[in-house]
Amino acid sequence: MKIDIFPVKKNLSSVMRNLVSEFGVPQAQKDLAIYCFAKDQTGNEIHLRFRNKKCLLFYIAEKTDELFRPRINIDMNRTTMKSLLTLFKEIGYDKASIGIATCFEYYSSNQLFIELLVDTFIGDFVQIGYENDKIADKFKAKLSNLGLNKINKPQVKSLVGKRNIKYYEIINQLGVVNDLIYKFTKDVGLSLEPSITSLKSKISNFSNDYSYLESAFFKLFDHELLTIQGFDPAYSKLIQPVSIVIPCFNSNETFIKTLYSLSCQNLPLGYINKLDVILVDDSSGTPIRKIIKKNELGFKFECKTVCFNPNMGLSNARNAGVSIAKNDIVIFLDSDIVLSENYLLEHCLRNIFIPNAVFVSFKKNLDKNDERISFKSIEKGLNSPDIYSDLRVRKVVDEGSPGMYEVSGKVAVEILNQSNYFKDLGNGRSLGIYDLPSMVIGHNMSCRKDNVYKIGGFSNEFRGWGLEDSYFGARMIAEGNFVIPILSTGVYHIDHPPRSGSFIQKKNELQANLKRYKELLNQPY
């Protein structure tokens, strides 16, 4: 594969936004580059490039005119960072220049990729990798129109020479890995040492510090990732189709409002018409298909329905929905949730930009007859609720409350504030009885479908009420996914009597599921 480099010499934010106009919203990921140099002074190099948990190897021969290079994918699920680096040290590649950058991936296929790298050894640049010159030429022309000019191999070397780049041992004589490499493994959840590890230890090895994505998000959109201010509806031209999975069980008084709030999103009608909405009826007393047929409101999209008989439980319902979802981005909703009018826009833009995350919004509880969630109010468009009643924002925890951890006496926690928007809940930390996996609550959340597939979907290890969403969160975190709150939108939860079981029964189910959850966290993973 050939690679051409186009330096960005000024006005980076303007270039980024112009690239969005040409190629759409990119994916932002952390990039670790390790340039290893041979001891034999041939000038040959091996370039290891880690992007989150993926690794590419490039061999760069000094005598070729090409800038780069054949490339090989390395499966990091079958090796560890230390094993890989030890191998290269043993064959003579023991010194390296090491850097961490942010990559904005605009397009990627086997034949072509286009990406912008920021804060690299040689500054900021766009690079195009391609197999076919004709296909690449039209993209190069677009870059030229943006004022970006290609540089050749001698010019790249000249830039490197001007930067006074330092070279380090990748592993020292004591077998200790370089600090920059070590930090990267913690940030993305890569295994450093070979070991039989538990899910709990993998979570403890993952930092939820997504600060670099905040910076990247602002550079691209001129909009804060964590602001309470929503995007202008004009940004809807950048979003992709989404699939929405809604399990239903005896929710005939509420789920119509859930659907209506989807139908009344502040988005172009053409987008709403194409929503992929999947209702999974988990053996309700009155089948949801009958209720939809009787509904006179009329929705702007077609609802797919999956019907279980007998009842299969929440995890199976969600998994069934994901299995027939058409789109890469999946939003999970409960059937008693009413959405703010900007919900889909805010979740979709962030999911496009950050592919390795679970996004969560907060809820406000309202009585089913509250005028604020009447059909008339929904049609006008609901603003985001105040979120102070959500336990992830403010919660008083009583002694003896069920959770991963115990507290002495009554403890007030403000998780969102005290954890710096969950960034300080990484590496196995906790606040009160809560930890990072418990921030993943399934009544409204979104993520990439392929990330759900990687962990095998929602688990059937739990019976009755509670913990299946925390366990889902734990496995997503172990696979290197951030948990990120969205403050610019939210949902209203319709209060209703229990649909199955008494309060005592639910409490007993929660205690049993908590015990099973703790067992699963400590098993080999």
pLDDT band at 108 (very low <50, low <70, confident <90, very high): confident
Is position 309 within any domain?
yes
Residue 161: what pLDDT? 67
Sequence-separated contacts (24+) of 6-10 with Cβ below 8 Å: 6/125, 6/126, 6/127, 6/128, 6/143, 6/148, 6/149, 6/150, 6/151, 7/122, 7/123, 7/124, 7/125, 7/148, 7/149, 7/151, 7/159, 8/116, 8/123, 8/124, 8/125, 8/126, 8/148, 9/123
Residue-wise pLDDT for 380-397, tens only, equals 999 999 988 899 999 998
Range in 99-103, 132-136, 280-284, 458-462 the model is least confident about: 132-136
Q: How far is CA 368 from the centre of its chain?
A: 32
Q: What's the pLDDT tens digit per position in 177-229? A: 999 999 898 888 887 877 668 999 999 989 999 999 999 999 999 999 999 99
| Mean per-residue pLDDT, 460-481 | 92
| pLDDT, position 74 | 84
pLDDT of residue 407: 82
**Per residue in 253-303, pLDDT tens?**
899 999 999 999 999 999 999 999 999 999 898 899 888 887 766 788 989
pLDDT grade, residue 494 (50/70/90)? very high
450 pLDDT more than 90: yes
Per-residue confidence (pLDDT) for residue 162, from 0 to 100: 67
> What whole-number distance in Å separates Cα of residue 206 and Cα of residue 211?
14
For the chain, give the number of residues. Answer: 525
d(CA 168, CA 53): 22
Within-domain flag for 445: yes
Residues forming a β-bridge with 33: 49, 99
What is the DSSP code string of 323-391?
A: HT--SSEEEEE-TTEEE-TTHHHHHHHHHHH-SSEEEEEEEEEEETT-GGGSHHHHHH-PPPPP-TTST
Residue 501: pLDDT over 70: no
| pLDDT, tens only, 5-35 | 999 988 898 999 999 988 899 999 999 999 8
Is the predicted pLDDT of residue 151 greater than 60, yes or no? Answer: yes
Same domain, 52 and 183: yes
82 & 18 share domain? yes
Range of the domain at 374: 210-522
Cα–Cα dist 215/69, whole Å: 31
Count up the domains in the chain and report the number.
2
Pairing of strands 329-333, 168-169: unpaired
Residues 166 and 279 in one domain: no
pLDDT at 10: 84
pLDDT value of residue 68: 52
Q: Is residue 512 part of a domain?
A: yes
Among 132, 160, 195, residue at a domain's last position? 195
46 close to 58: Cβ distance less than 8 angstroms: yes
Whether 431 shows a pLDDT value over 70: the answer reads yes
Give me the pLDDT at residue 86, please. 87
Per-residue model confidence (pLDDT) at position 359: 99
Report the pLDDT value the prediction gives residue 500, as an integer from 0 to 100. 60
**Lowest-confidence pick of 110-114, 246-250, 488-492:** 110-114
pLDDT at 70 over 60: no
Percent of the chain with pLDDT over 90: 56
Residues 122 and 34 in one domain: yes
Whether 181 and 236 map to the same domain: the answer is: no
Write out pLDDT tens, residues 304-334: 999 999 989 999 999 999 999 999 999 999 9
Taking residues 59-68, report their average pLDDT: 56
Q: How far apart are CA 226 and CA 232, in angstroms?
A: 15
What is the average pLDDT value for the chain, to the nearest integer? 89
Q: Identify the domain boundary among 139, 171, 195.
A: 195
Angle formed at CA 479 by CA 475 and CA 485, multiple of 5 degrees: 75
Mean pLDDT of all residues in 38-48: 70
In-domain check, residue 516: yes
Domain boundary among 195, 230, 245: 195
Is a pLDDT exceeding 60 seen at residue 64? Answer: no
- Tell me the sheet residues that pair with 3: 129
- Find out whether 257 and 373 touch, Cβ atoms under 8 Å: yes
Do 184 and 269 lie in one domain? The reply is no
Do both 191 and 214 map to the same domain?
no
* Residue type at position 229: Q
What pLDDT, in 10s, does the model give residues 166-176?
888 888 888 88
CATH code at position 85: 2.40.320.10
* 40, pLDDT greater than 70: no
117-143 residue pLDDT tens: 999 888 899 999 888 888 889 888 989
Q: What is the 3-state secondary structure (H, E, C) of 267-333?
A: CCHHHHHCCEEEEEEECCCCCHHHHHHHCCCCCCCCEEEEEECCCCCHHHHHHHHHHCCCCCEEEEE
> Do 333 and 409 lie in a common domain?
yes
**In this structure, is residue 277 part of a structural domain?**
yes
Q: Return the pLDDT at 272.
A: 96
Q: Domain of 501: which CATH number?
A: 3.90.550.10
**pLDDT for the residue 274:** 95
**More reliable by pLDDT, 315 or 61:** 315
- Given a cut of 60, is residue 63 above it in pLDDT? no
pLDDT at 61: 59
